[in-house]
Amino acid sequence: MQKLIYQLCRKYTDLSEEEIQVIEMMAGTLQPLANLEAADIFVDCPCKDKDAVVVAEAKPEEVPSAYKNSVVGMLAKEENEPAVARTFRLGVATKYMKARTQENNYTIQSVEPIKYNSRVIGVLIREKRIKEDGETSEEWGSYEAIETPLNHMINENEWLTESIDEGLLLVDYKGRVSFRNLYARELFQNLGYVRDILGQKYKNICLTEWSDTPEGTDRIKEVCCGNYYLRVRQIPLMNQNIRFAVIIRDITWNREQEKNLILKSVAVKELNHRVKNNLQTIASLLRLQARREEKEETKQVLYESISRILSISATHQLLSQSGEACVSLLEVLENVRRNAVQPFLRTDLSFDLEITGDDLVVDSEIATSVALAVNELLQNCMKYAFKGRKEGHVWIRIEKGKVYSRLTVKDDGIGFDPEKIRSGSLGLNIVKTMVQDKLHGKFTIRSGREGTEAEFDFINEPTDLISISQ
C-alpha cells in the first residue's frame, strides 16, 4: 500500500517526502476506523490543480460498502465532492454533506483535514451509504469487529478518536471515565453537565439504567435525553487499563425525520380525503343538473365533465386510503373504468372491458394524468366505436419499461378515418396535452375496420427527467 501511495502522491501532488510519510502513516490506520464507524474510509490528497486524488481506502468488514470496486487512484472532482473541496480550501472539518461517488452513487461525507506544519496535506473522509428511504445507515458492526479497532486506536492512534462522529468514553477498573473525546465532551455539555466528565464516576453520568458491564457483555440501547435521541453502546475491552468503552451516537435527526414523515403521511392522507370528497360533491351537483336538463347534447357534456372529475377523484381516493405519495396504476384504472363507462352504457349493448398488464406504482401526478387520458379514450369508445353494434370489447394494457412505460386502449368497434379527426375534438386534445406536457410521452392512434388502437408512453418517475436531460 505504501508504495502505491508514494507513487500517486509523486504523480499527482506536490507533497514533500516528509508529508508523504505522514499520509502513509495515516493510511495504515484506516481499517480499524472503517470497522468502528461501519463506513467507507478514504484518504485524499490535493492535486496540483483544483481536484484531489484518492490515495488510500478501507471498507467496513461487517456492513455493506457503498462501493463495488476500489477507487484508489481516481480523482475526486470538486463538483461531485464539495465537502472535500471545502475542507481543503478552509482547513476545517466538514460534516454530513452529500456527495456523488466515482461509481455515480450518492453518499453522505464527513471530512477531517490532515495537517503537517499547519498545511493541509490531505483529508480523512468517512462515507455512509444513503438508503432507499433517503437516510444514512445507522448500522454498527459486531462486538468482535469493534473491540479490536478500539484497542488499536486507544493504544497506538489516539488521534483517531477525534475523527469519529460518535462520542467515545473509556471507563477504567475503578469505574471512572479515564478518557473522553471532544465529541463526547460537547455532547454532555449540551445535555446539561456543567463540569467536564473526565475523571468522574461513570455511574454518575451514564445515560442508561445500566452503569456497569459484566465481562463479555456487549450492550446497545436507544435512549431519549431531553431533546436528544441517542444510541448508547457499552463494549467490554478487558484492556490492561480500560474495563469497557462507551460509544454514543446522536440519532436525533433520524428520529425527528421519522416523526415528520408520520405527521406528513397523516396530513397527506387527510388532504387527499378532503379533495376526493370535494370532487365527488362537484360531480354530484353536475349529475343533479344533468338529470334536470332536457337537451340531450347538454346532458352528454355534463356527463363527460362528471367522468373527468371522477377520474381525478380516483387517484385521490387511493391516496386517502394509503397515506402514501404513490398509487397502483391498475387500481386507479379500475376506478376510472366504472366512472367513464357507466354513463354511456346502452341497454342494447353487451359490453366487456378488460384491464391487463404490469402493475406499476407511480407518482400521484402521473397517475392523475394517465387516468384523465384513459378516461377520454374510453369515452370516445363508448360514444363512437359501437354504433349499430350489439356487442363491444375494449382492452387496456400496461407494459412496464425501465424509464418509460406504455399504455394501450384497443377496441373492436367500427373504426374511423384518423385523417378526418376534428382538430377541435376536446377529448383527443386532452389526451395529447396530458401525454406531451404531463407524461412527457408520445401519443399515437390507429383505426380501421377491425377497430381502433390508441397508445401512449409515459415516464415512470418524475425524477427520471433529470437523468434524461443530462
Q: What is the 3-state secondary structure (H, E, C) of 253-289?
A: HHHHHHHHHHHHHHHHHHHHHHHHHHHHHHHHHHHHH
What's the pLDDT band for 422 if we cut at 50, 70, 90? low
* pLDDT attached to residue 398: 93
* pLDDT attached to residue 389: 87
Q: How many Å separate Cα 62 from the centre of its chain?
A: 23
Q: Is the predicted pLDDT of residue 112 greater than 80, yes or no?
A: yes
Task: Specify which residues 31 forms β-bridges with.
Answer: none
Listed residue (78, 68, 253, 247) closest to 171, CA to CA: 247
* pLDDT attached to residue 402: 86
Q: What is the mean predicted confidence (pLDDT) over 19-27?
A: 89
* pLDDT attached to residue 61: 83
Q: Is the predicted pLDDT of residue 189 greater than 80, yes or no?
A: yes
Higher-confidence residue of 342 and 246: namely 246
Q: Which of 22-31, 104-113, 264-273 is the least confident region?
A: 264-273
Q: What is the mean predicted confidence (pLDDT) over 427-434?
A: 82
Q: How many Å separate Cα 251 from the centre of its chain?
A: 18
CA distances from 10 to 19, 28, 75 (A): 11, 19, 15
Dihedral of the alpha carbons of 352, 355, 356, 359, in degrees to the nearest 10: -170
Listed residue (241, 219, 216) closest to 158, CA to CA: 241
Q: Is the predicted pLDDT of residue 151 greater than 60, yes or no?
A: no
**What's the one-letter identity of residue 406?**
R
* pLDDT attached to residue 469: 37
Listed residue (177, 147, 149, 144) closest to 163, CA to CA: 149
Domain architecture of the chain: domains with CATH: 2-129 (3.30.450.280), 166-250 (3.30.450.20), 255-469 (3.30.565.10)
* pLDDT attached to residue 13: 93
For the segment 302-355, what is each residue's pLDDT rounded down to a tens digit? Answer: 877 777 777 777 766 666 655 566 778 888 888 787 776 776 677 788 888 899
* pLDDT attached to residue 343: 67
Task: Specify which residues 457 forms β-bridges with.
Answer: 406
**Burial class (CB within 10 angstroms; exposed 0-12, middle 13-18, buried 19+) of 282:** middle
What does pLDDT average to over the chain?
80
Backbone phi, psi, residue 222, to 5° = -100, 130
Residue 388 cell numbers, joined: 349499430
* pLDDT attached to residue 155: 53
Contact (Cβ atoms closer than 8 angstroms) between residue 207 and residue 220: no
Q: Write down the pTM of the prediction.
A: 0.46
Q: Which of 68-77, 167-176, 225-234, 425-434 is the least confident region?
A: 425-434
Strand order in the sheet with 404-411: 350-357, 391-399, 404-411, 451-459, 443-448
* pLDDT attached to residue 470: 35
Pairwise CA distance, residues 11 & 110, whole Å? 26
Contact (Cβ atoms closer than 8 angstroms) between residue 196 and residue 69: no
